[in-house]
C-alpha cells in the first residue's frame, strides 16, 4: 500500500499538454466500451482489490493520455489509442471502461451501428474538419475522467477567393460636409469589411459603409474599399471620388477700416466674424477707388500722396481648409486732400513803365506734384490766371501784364484740384517806375 501511495505523488502532467482533461464531470456516453482493445491494454493478472482511500481520481493514475494515429485524409483510417493508467493497481486495470465519441470541429459524429469505436474512416462529410476523439474512463471507486485527444486537420476542398457580385460604388454628394455611402456585394459566405482612404492612405476609424467628407478630403482622391473574405482568401473592390470644396464662409459682422485717412497716417483693417467653425486665415488687398493698390496686402496701410482725395477700402479674403474662399469688402473712407503751398518770387522787384514784370510761381504739396489754376491778384483784384501743368513739376515762370507805375502788391491763389487743397501765397511787391 505504501508503494501505491508513493506512486500517486509521482504522476507527471507534462504528457497532458495536448489533451483536454476534465475530472469528475458528468458524461453522456456516445459509445460504451467495456474493455479497451487488446492492443491498447495488455492482459492483466487476476489480483484481489486493494483497500483504497475515498475521493481518488483517475487523473492521478494516468501515464499516457488517449491519442489519435493515422494519416489525416478522406478514406484514410484513424486509430484511437486508449489512455494508459500504469499507476492504477493492476487488479483495477481489468475493470476500466471507456466511452468513446468522435468529433468534427467539436461536433459529435454519429457512428453506424456496430462500428468499432476505436477506429474511424473520415468521409466527404468531414472534409476540412479538425478530427478529435473524446474518451471518458471510469473504474470502481474513482471519479470519471473525460479526455479529448489532440486534433488532426483533414484537408478541405481547394479554397477560392470570394467573387464580386456587385462592384463597389459610392452614392451621395461628393462635397466637404456631405455624407457618402459605399456599397459592394460578394458571393454568399463571404464576410465584408470596409475602409475609406484619402490619397491612397487609410483614414483612421473610417471603417463603416457611410462616411462624412471632412475638410481634409477636399479636392483629394477619396477611395471606398470593400474587402470580401473567405478564410485567408480575400477579394477587393474599390470606387473613387474627388470631393469638391465646401461652401465659402460668409462675413457676419463685417470687416472694418480704422484710423485717420490722412496722408502719412496708418489705416488698419479688422476681418470681423465669419460663418462656419474651425480656424480661418485672412488675406487683404487695399483698394483706391476701383483699383487695387500694388503691394498693399497687409492688414495695415500707410496713406500715400496718391490717395489724396480718393476713397480707400479693403477686400478681406477668408479661407478655411476644405472650403471655397469667402470675400468681403469694407466701407470706404475718404482721404483728405493734400495740403499745398503757393509761393511767388520776383526776379526784378523794379521795372520800367511799359515793361512786363517776370513772376515765378511755385506750388508744393505733401507726397505729390500739384497742378492747376493759379490766379494772380494785385491788391485783391485778379489781373491774370495761369495754369501750372503736371509737367512743370510745380514751378512756372510767367510774364505779368503791363502795369501802371507805382507799387503793386501781388498775391497768388491756388484753386486746388481733386487731390489737393487750395492755398494762398504771401504778398510780394513789384514797383513800376515812371519814365523820366
**So what's the pLDDT on residue 56?**
64
Show me where the domains of the chain are located: 2-153, 164-241, 256-334, 340-433
- Please state, in angstroms and rounded to a whole number, the distance separating the CA atoms of residues 373 and 358: 18
- SS3 per residue for 188-212: CCCEEEEEEEECCEECCCCCCCEEE
205-258, pLDDT tens digit by residue? Answer: 999 999 999 999 999 999 999 999 988 899 999 999 999 999 999 999 989 999
Q: Which residue has the higher pLDDT, 55 or 431?
A: 431
N residues, the chain: 436
The CATH fold assigned to 164-241 is: Immunoglobulin-like (2.60.40)
The CATH fold assigned to 256-334 is: Immunoglobulin-like (2.60.40)
Nearest Cα residue to 39 out of 128, 118, 120, 133? 118
391-414, pLDDT tens digit by residue? Answer: 999 999 999 999 999 999 999 999
**For the chain, percent of residues with pLDDT exceeding 70:** 86
**So what's the pLDDT on residue 260?**
95
117-145, pLDDT tens digit by residue? Answer: 999 999 988 888 999 999 999 988 788 89
- What is the value of pTM for the model shown? 0.55
Q: Which residue has the higher pLDDT, 370 or 239?
A: 239
Does the fold of domain 256-334 match that of domain 164-241? yes
**436 band by pLDDT with thresholds 50, 70 and 90:** low
160-212, pLDDT tens digit by residue? Answer: 889 999 999 999 999 999 999 999 999 988 999 999 999 999 999 999 999 99
Nearest Cα residue to 292 out of 313, 309, 264? 313
**So what's the pLDDT on residue 293?**
97
Question: Does CATH place domain 340-433 in 1.10.340.30?
Answer: no
For the chain, give the mean pLDDT.
Answer: 86
Type and span of the H or E element at 7 = helix 2-8
Amino acid at each position: 500500500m505504501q508503494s501505491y501511495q508513493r506512486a500517486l505523488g509521482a504522476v507527471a502532467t507534462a504528457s497532458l499538454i495536448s489533451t483536454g482533461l476534465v475530472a469528475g464531470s458528468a458524461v453522456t456516453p456516445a459509445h460504451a466500451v467495456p474493455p479497451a482493445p487488446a492492443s491498447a491494454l495488455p492482459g492483466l493478472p487476476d489480483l484481489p482489490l486493494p483497500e483504497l482511500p475515498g475521493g481518488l481520481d483517475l487523473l492521478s493514475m494516468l501515464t499516457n493520455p488517449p491519442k489519435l494515429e493515422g494519416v489525416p485524409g478522406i478514406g484514410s483510417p484513424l486509430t484511437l489509442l486508449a489512455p494508459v493508467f500504469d499507476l492504477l493497481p493492476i487488479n483495477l486495470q481489468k475493470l476500466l471502461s471507456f466511452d468513446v465519441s468522435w468529433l468534427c470541429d467539436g461536433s459529435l459524429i454519429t457512428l453506424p451501428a456496430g462500428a468499432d469505436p476505436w477506429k474511424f474512416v473520415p468521409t466527404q462529410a468531414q472534409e476540412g474538419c479538425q478530427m478529435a476523439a473524446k474518451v471518458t474512463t471510469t473504474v470502481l471507486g474513482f471519479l470519471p475522467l473525460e479526455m479529448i485527444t489532440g486534433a488532426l486537420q483533414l484537408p478541405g476542398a481547394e479554397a477560392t477567393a470570394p467573387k464580386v457580385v456587385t462592384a463597389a460604388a459610392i452614392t451621395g454628394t461628393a462635397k466637404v460636409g456631405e455624407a457618402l455611402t459605399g456599397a459592394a456585394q460578394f458571393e454568399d459566405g463571404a464576410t465584408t469589411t470596409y475602409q475609406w482612404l484619402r490619397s491612397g492612405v487609410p483614414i483612421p476609424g473610417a471603417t463603416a459603409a457611410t462616411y462624412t467628407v471632412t475638410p481634409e478630403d477636399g479636392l483629394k482622391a477619396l477611395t471606398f474599399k470593400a474587402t470580401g473574405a473567405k478564410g485567408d482568401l480575400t477579394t477587393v473592390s474599390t470606387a473613387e471620388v474627388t470631393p469638391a470644396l465646401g461652401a465659402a464662409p460668409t462675413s457676419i459682422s463685417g470687416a472694418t477700416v480704422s484710423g485717420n485717412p490722412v496722408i502719412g497716417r496708418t489705416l488698419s483693417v479688422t476681418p470681423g466674424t465669419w460663418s462656419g467653425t474651425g480656424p480661418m486665415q485672412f488675406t487683404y488687398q487695399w483698394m483706391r477707388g476701383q483699383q487695387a493698390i500694388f503691394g498693399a496686402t497687409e492688414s495695415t496701410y500707410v496713406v500715400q500722396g496718391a490717395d489724396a482725395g480718393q476713397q480707400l477700402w479693403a477686400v478681406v479674403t477668408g479661407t478655411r481648409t476644405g472650403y471655397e474662399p469667402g470675400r468681403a469688402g469694407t466701407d470706404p473712407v475718404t482721404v483728405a486732400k493734400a495740403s499745398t503751398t503757393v509761393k511767388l518770387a520776383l526776379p526784378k522787384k523794379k521795372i520800367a513803365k511799359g515793361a512786363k514784370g517776370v513772376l515765378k510761381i511755385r506750388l508744393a504739396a505733401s507726397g505729390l506734384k500739384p497742378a492747376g489754376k493759379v490766379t494772380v491778384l494785385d491788391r485783391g483784384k485778379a489781373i491774370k490766371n495761369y495754369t501750372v501743368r503736371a509737367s512743370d513739376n510745380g514751378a512756372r515762370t510767367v510774364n505779368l501784364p503791363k502795369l501802371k507805375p507805382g507799387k503793386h502788391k501781388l498775391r497768388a491763389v491756388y484753386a486746388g484740384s481733386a487731390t489737393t487743397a487750395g492755398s494762398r501765397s504771401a504778398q510780394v511787391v513789384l514797383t513800376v517806375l515812371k519814365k523820366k
